[in-house]
Structure 1
């Protein structure tokens, strides 16, 4: 039986996305208990900052290796292991007795988290045809944003009900159960139904040395175009929203912490809408590049607007800008639709890893660069709005890089490996 024509592919889709929803929630859920962790473990704010960033660094550093491993040995095994690692890390976090244990827990969680996106892209690529994939990758991107949303009010209520240790412990158990579910759905059940496998998918990379493969990928203009495309659209959103959005609202506009947090929520709403909508539009138009160029231009103009108004646009416009920037981040799932469309499926894991590395490398760089700019203006006794004004030059430059990336992409379906 052919995987791409079976009804069972929707069970695969649902199971994988539910696991992604839970894993994505654990990226940001520890931020809900920062004050409690500082109090319970007597740690400083800098320790909390390192604890928060270490998962991010592990995730970014493992994207290309994970793509290589997934292409060579198949994505199913690594996604299952990733669910168990994320679950184990979350459980250990809930049982931690000192900061060293917490660090180990977040490293485990980051390692498990690093498996999800690349392997999910490959699994969906195996079970769905190219046209279906373009539509569904937007839903997958939306699921990640829903995971971030789950880690706000719902998980906060769960913590308030059970206490933070019991809440994280239960989340870890649920993730381990997802690992068992994925084993049944991805490995056990397909064996019983006897789905046909493509010889190209199974054996393609075994006939080629890894050094040869990597040399070809890293010399590919298309792969680098995808790297820079994702660099421009992801980092500006994740890096700014995740680190400076709340301080910006409080420092420049005099908002309360609660009101400034609404800026993050507006961006998140934009991401929830942007992912499925842009995928649907691309599918209807039969092209990914043209609508994606519009998205990149919109993001660039949004960041330029901050510069136009000296870092302090009118209040209502501020919410619109955050929505548009979030919308663009949601549309970033189109990067992987291009990977699926233009690379053989046996190479899609490596290329997806390269593209995803670009996105999260910019997310690592932007907070640090903006922080140095703000520190400079603070030491110069300048106004905080001046600091943010010059700080916004960074996401503008990143967005220009992203626009160059998407304009450099060559669009066109390669049927080999996709049937």
Structure 2
């Protein structure tokens, strides 16, 4: 999917054609077939709902240790580092599986991957319900992370195939909202079931639900209406140079690296709080009752639900605010961590804790900016691979943060199962460091992206956005491609193995259809 043979100093990536304008774009670019101009139907929502149900289960399984951590410590005789090892392994496997999962989704399709995901997670939870020692429990959580890793990329691929580009931001936010439902069940309801039924029945039931849900996904898949007729089908074995070229091309785009750091900075450290260390911090360091601590974890989930609804609508209408929004949310989360650390005696009052929890809850929804960058600046056959690359960022941040907090707690107060506020203050400094590093890299790639666009404009080359001193303009894609074709400079999609410098992950680089 490349333009004329003539070369240029800066090749230009053109985002996927917008439904309704596809005829004009394909007329300018030979071999690029238009998207089928159909409306969103009830079938689209049904297909999305089936995939989103797997994501509900995935987030529930992922978050279950948030309130089961103290019980796991007693049942398996764990230290803080060993308890952190569960989440580290689970999220680490998730991160390592992102690129392979993206390639597999591009190769086999989202339905098959979601079926494999729910079967894997169900098996892992049943195994986890039966363990009585650390090593088997660790193996079960690693297997759970493997199933979890297959889920969200597959759901986003369903969104890209069954909904037009202008609805991508909104439906992605709805997908995250469904994940929040799983997180919600993993708070107060899971606490009650654990105390009522005990460890083994609770996790065995959770695993059984995942296995039963596989029946929903057995029906053969049908052609997605918003897949392009000319989309390249992946054939042959998954591997070899073609796979490496696709991964490298997705990463070398400035949007790829910007998306990675956006996801790491906005999502990483808030995930550390919600998945593992928030509940112990609230009960041990601050002395809150378990019911109040569970309610605050629930508030984290509810805040994420509201933020998902708001952020999805805002970004759908105003794609130019994407990166500034991610930066603002990251700075707010950084301030929240500093408040918990610097408050006198390390015991902020309840209203302050509530405010910090609400701020941290916005991090996950804001991370959807990374997926929009991956969607906008990669050809459709590489969307899942690019999504996997940026998705690694948040989970790398979560793994590093979880590990550092656990190690610092054991270093400051060795041999203790219950840690003091002073120990948590020191441990949370690691989360400040992770956030600061992420912010610096995010801003760096944002500025580089803007500079690349401005330099390309100064050379008179075509770019997807036109930046001005105080504003920017989105360029009509048909006009862009026709102009670049006449100049012999256009490259549709990212040329394999070559970076596309001009069309960057800039805050205004959304498609007109997103508006």
Shorter-chain TM band: 0.7 to 0.9
Q: What's the CA shift for 1:65?
A: 1.4
Query: Distance between the aligned counterparts of 1:217 and 1:55, measured in 2?
Result: 25
How far is 1:155 from its partner? Answer: 3.6
Q: 1:307 and 1:156 mapped to 2: Cα distance?
A: 28
| Aligned equivalents of 2:405, 2:300: Cα separation in 1 | 19
Following the alignment from structure 2 to structure 1, what is the Cα–Cα distance between the partners of residues 257 and 248? 13
Provide the C-alpha distance between the structure 2 equivalents of 1:329 and 1:53, rounded to a whole number of angstroms: 18
Q: Partner residue of 1:359?
A: 394
From 314, 322, 325, the counterpart of 1:291: 325
Distance 2:365 2:210 in 1: 24
Distance 1:405 1:7, change over 3 A: farther
- By how many angstroms is 1:402 displaced? 3.7
Q: Please say if 1:331 is aligned against 2:366.
A: yes
Shift in Å at residue 4 of structure 1? 5.9
The equivalent of 2:435 in structure 1 is: 399
1:218 aligns with 2:314: no
Contact 2:52 2:175 in 1 (8 A): yes
Q: Would the aligned equivalents of 1:377 and 1:386 in 2 still touch at CA under 8 Å?
A: no
In the other structure, the counterpart of 1:114 is: 149
CA contact (8 A) 1:263 1:319 kept: yes
In structure 2, the CA distance between the partners of 1:299 and 1:2, relative to structure 1 (3 Å rule), is: same
Distance 1:415 1:72 in 2: 29
User: 2:337 corresponds to which residue?
Assistant: 303
CA distance in 2, matches of 1:176, 1:232: 34
Give the alignment's TM-score, normalised by structure 2: 0.69
TM-superposition CA deviations, 1:102-141 (whole Å, max 9, x none): 4444333222111001111111111111221101111211
Q: Distance in 2 between matches of 1:303 and 1:397?
A: 10
Match of 1:198 among 185, 207, 228: 228
Q: 1:242 to 1:157 in 2, by over 3 A?
A: closer
Higher mean alpha-carbon deviation, 29-38 vs 309-318, is at 29-38
Partner of 1:242: 275
- The corresponding residue for 1:134 is 169
Kindly provide the CA deviation profile for residues 374-415 of structure 1, in whole angstroms up to 9, marking residues without a partner as x: 455548xxx955544444433333333443455413242469
Q: Give the count of matched residue pairs.
A: 407
Structure 2: stretches of 5+ with no match in the other structure: 1-35, 447-504
Kindly tell me: are residues 171 and 216 of structure 1, through their superposed partners in 2, closer, same or farther at Cα, counting changes over 3 Å?
same
Moved more, 294-303 or 255-264: 255-264
How do residues 273-288 of structure 1 correspond to structure 2 at under 5 angstroms? 273-287=306-320, 288=322
Asked if residue 270 in structure 1 is aligned to residue 300 in structure 2, the reply is no
Structure with greater proportional helix content: 1
In structure 2, distance between residues paired with 1:4 and 1:224: 33
Contact 1:38–1:44 under 8 Å retained in 2: yes
Which consecutive unaligned segments of at least 5 residues does structure 1 have? none
**In the alignment, which residue of structure 2 is the partner of 1:146?**
181
CA distance in 2, matches of 1:38, 1:292: 36
1:60 aligns to what SS in structure 2? helix
CA shift for structure 1 position 58: 1.9
Aligned-partner Cα distance in 2 for 1:154–1:161: 11
Q: Matches of residues 17-416 of structure 1 in structure 2 within 5 Å?
A: 17-29=52-64, 43-46=76-79, 50-94=85-129, 102-158=137-193, 164-184=199-219, 187-188=220-221, 190=222, 197-203=227-233, 209-287=242-320, 288-307=322-341, 309=343, 311-378=346-413, 385-407=421-443, 408=446, 409-411=505-507, 412-413=509-510
CA shift for structure 1 position 268? 2.2
Contact 1:234 1:332 in 2 (8 A): yes
Query: Do 1:231 and 1:362's aligned partners in 2 also have CA atoms closer than 8 Å?
Result: yes
**Rg: which structure is higher?**
2
Q: Distance in 1 between matches of 2:134 and 2:341?
A: 41
